[in-house]
Amino acid sequence: MPPTAEDSGEQGPPASAPSPLDGLPSVRGVARPSLWLLLVPVLLYGSAPFVANRIEPRILGVPFLLAWVIAATVISPLVIWLAARLDPAYRTGAVEPIPADDPEGGRR
Contacts of 55 (CB under 8 A, 6+ apart): 63, 64, 65
Q: pLDDT tens digits for 26-69?
A: 566 667 788 889 999 999 999 988 888 877 888 899 998 899 99
Domain containing 76 equals: 32-93
Asked if 24 and 89 touch (Cβ cutoff 8 Å), the reply is: no
Task: Quote the pLDDT of residue 81.
Answer: 92
Residue 22, domain member (yes or no): no
Closest by CA position to 84, among listed 32, 21, 26: 32
Q: What is the pLDDT of residues 89-101, one digit of tens each?
A: 777 777 666 667 6
For the segment 73-94, the average pLDDT, to the nearest whole number, is 86
Does residue 4 form part of some domain? no
Q: Considering the domain boundaries, does residue 69 fall inside one?
A: yes
Residue 89 forms part of a structural domain: yes
62 is a domain residue? yes
Q: Is the pLDDT of residue 82 over 70?
A: yes
Q: Into how many domains does the chain fold?
A: 1
Kindly state whether residue 88 falls inside one of the protein's structural domains.
Answer: yes
